[in-house]
Amino acid sequence: MPRTGGAGRDAHAAIARPGASAILAARPASVTAHSLTGGRGRVWVVHNWSPQTRTVRIAADAASVLDDAVHRAGTEVALAPWDVRVWREVRSGIGVSAPSS
C-alpha cells in the first residue's frame, strides 16, 4: 500500500483502508465506511454524507468506541444527517457488553 505522507511515522501506526466496507452488509450511496488497523485491532469510521437520516445493516459485530454499545451482525442502525460513527470490530463472545437497542 503506497504511503501518502507522514514520512518517519512509527511503523506501528494505523493504516487506513478506504476501499473496505465489510462492516456494512447494506448501505445507501451516501454512506461510506473506512477502516483502520492498529495494535488493538480494526476500527471502522462510518459517515453519512446526507442531510437526511440513513439506515445501514451491520455485517459483523461491532462496538462503539465512545460508549461500548454493541451492534450485532444483522442489526440495522439509523445514522442521523451528517453523522459519523466509530466502531471497533468485536469477535463473537469476546469483549462484548450488552447489545444496543
**Confidence band (pLDDT; 50, 70, 90) for 38?**
confident
Selected from 3.40.50.1980, 2.60.40.1180, 3.10.129.10, 2.40.50.100, the CATH number assigned to the domain covering 15-89 reads: 2.60.40.1180
Please, which residues have CB within 8 angstroms of residue 72's CB and are 6 or more apart in sequence?
Answer: 58, 61, 99
Measured distance CA(25)–CA(59) in Å, rounded: 5
Q: 9 or 91: whose pLDDT is higher?
A: 91
Give the start-to-end residue ranges of the domains of the chain: 15-89
Range 54-80 average pLDDT = 94
Q: Is residue 93 scored above 90 in pLDDT?
A: no
Give backbone dihedrals phi and psi of 23, rounded to 5 degrees, phi first: -75, -20
